[in-house]
Structure 1
Amino acid sequence: MERKLIALDLDGTTLNADSGLNTATIQTMQRLQNAGHVVSIITGRSYQGSAAIYDQLHLVSPMINFNGSLGHLPHQTWASEYQFTVNKAIVLALIKYREQLGINEIIAENKNSTMTAGQDLVAGKFFPEIMNSPRLTPETLTRNPNSLVLLVQLDRRTAVVDWINAHFGDFVDVGVWGGPNAILEVTSKGVHKAKGLAYLADHFQIARRNVIAFGDEHNDLEMLQYAGLGVAMANGTSAIKAAADDVTAYDNDQNGVARYLDDYFALAE
């Protein structure tokens, strides 16, 4: 059987409802990796927010963080490591006009650092690593971040997106997270998960037809479209299911990814 590249989104996909890993998932990924396939995490999470999961899965492959903005090999130096960043002048403008725009908090993230400006209302739930992070100020911001996350006032969300696009639309994209909280993500223009996935496929010289990707949300769309087999979760959004080649029979709390892969490789053998 030809070598496969298996791309795993984390939240709502590989992780269960408690944001943890089920034993069956760990065992399946180990078996596939031992068989010579490349199993890679491709997540919107930071490296700090996903390193423990990588280690629990006992992976040896590169990981893609910040929805494609950072590609690296955890715990090792990798000559092929890459990153896309947001110009710090954009961050400084957002810090300056934060209150005026209705932005409660700005989170600037890099591979090994996270800084915040403003007040934490809900971010601690999503980004546990920020709880004791240093303040983000014009003085402490010494380099361009990989990703910016903005917690905005719900009624100001559209206005904030419009303001960023009007001033910096040539340089960045603004993504809107699903769910009840108004959370925006600012990344380098044209960067998404498929960029990272294509980079890995090229690095390992694996053809697109041998790429299998799993996801559940809008930020997985390009990745699923790029993959030879793009698989949406049973618990995924209707838009993702419509765009996917297939849908898992089980959701993320029922080992949906592991069961799908077990069936897929058993049939292939």
Structure 2
Amino acid sequence: MTRKLIALDLDGTTLNAASQLNPTTIQTMQRLQAAGHIVSIITGRSYQGSQAIYDELKLTSPMINFNGSLGHLPHQSWDSEYQFTLNKAVVLALVKYREQLGINQIIAENKNSTMTAGQDIVAGKFFPEIADSPRLTPETLTRNPNSLVLLVQLDRRSAIIDWINERFGNVVDVGVWGGPNAILEITSKGVHKARGMAYLADHFQISRENIIAFGDEHNDLEMLQYAGLGVAMTNGTDEAKAIADDVTTYDNNQNGVARYLTDYFDLAE
């Protein structure tokens, strides 16, 4: 069979509701990798927040973090590694006006570092890497970050988005997390998961029609649309399901991705 690039979103897709991998998922991905396919994690998460999952899947492929802002090969140097960064000026403006705007916490991340300003009670649940992270200040921020996450007051969210777009809309994009938590993701303009996925496909000389992508949320839309076969989770947003070529029968708690791939590649024992 033609070699495929299998692009996996993590939260709400490859991971169950407890943010863990089911054994069936691990086994399926290893079988596909052993058969010669490229199985790659393409996530909004940081490297720190996804490395353990990469290792548990025993992947050997490059990984895309921060919604396309970083492409690298975990545990080794890769001469095709790339990164997109945000200008420090954007970060420092948000730090300066954080309280005034209604931003509870700002998290600035690079491949191997995390810095924070402020505090939010749900931050630790989604970003375990922020524990004991250094303070984000004009003095400590010495380089441009790959990614910026804002935990904001829900009633101030649209005003914060407008404020950022008015000042920096020509250089950054603002993504909104779904669900009850008011979380904004800021990336360099035009950077999204599909950029990272297309980069990997090009690197491995896999044509667009041989890409299979799985996702469930707003930050998966470009990836689902770009892939030859974009598959939304049945537990995904209406928007993701509308844009996708197909929808899984089973959700992320029922090994939806693994079952879909088992049928697609006819992996039945």
- TM-score by length of structure 2 reads 0.98
The structure 1 segments of at least 4 consecutive aligned residues displaced by more than 4 Å after TM superposition are none
Q: Deviations over 1:106-125 (max 9, x none)?
A: 00010000000012321011
Separation in 2, partners of 1:217, 1:99: 29
Separation in 2, partners of 1:232, 1:207: 20
Separation in 2, partners of 1:267, 1:20: 23
Secondary structure, aligned partner of 1:151: strand
Which consecutive residues of structure 1, in runs of 5 or more, have no partner in the other structure? Answer: none
CA shift at 1:267, angstroms?
8.0
CA shift at 1:209, angstroms?
0.7
CA shift at 1:261, angstroms?
0.3
What residue identity is the alignment partner of 1:251?
D
Secondary structure, aligned partner of 1:76: coil
Secondary structure, aligned partner of 1:266: coil
Separation in 2, partners of 1:22, 1:53: 11
Separation in 2, partners of 1:227, 1:12: 19
Q: Deviations over 1:207-256 (max 9, x none)?
A: 01110000011110000111000001111111111111011110000000
For the 8 Å contact 2:248–2:256, the answer to whether it is kept is yes
Match of 1:211 in 2: 211
Separation in 2, partners of 1:33, 1:86: 34
Match of 2:84 in 1: 84
Which consecutive residues of structure 2, in runs of 5 or more, have no partner in the other structure? Answer: none
Match of 2:142 in 1: 142
Separation in 1, partners of 2:90, 2:14: 33
CA shift at 1:17, angstroms?
1.1
Match of 2:258 in 1: 258
Q: Deviations over 1:156-204 (max 9, x none)?
A: 1111100100001100001111111211111100000000000000000
Give identity over the alignment, percent: 84
CA shift at 1:154, angstroms?
1.1
Q: Deviations over 1:58-87 (max 9, x none)?
A: 000000000000000000000000000110
Secondary structure, aligned partner of 1:85: coil
- Any residues of structure 2 matched to 1:195-206 within 5 Å, and which? 195-206=195-206
What residue identity is the alignment partner of 1:117?
A
- Any residues of structure 2 matched to 1:89-238 within 5 Å, and which? 89-238=89-238
What count of residue pairs does the alignment treat as equivalent? Answer: 268
Separation in 1, partners of 2:140, 2:31: 44
Separation in 1, partners of 2:155, 2:137: 26
For the 8 Å contact 2:209–2:227, the answer to whether it is kept is yes
Match of 1:66 in 2: 66
What residue identity is the alignment partner of 1:236?
G
Match of 2:28 in 1: 28
CA RMSD of aligned residues (A): 1.0
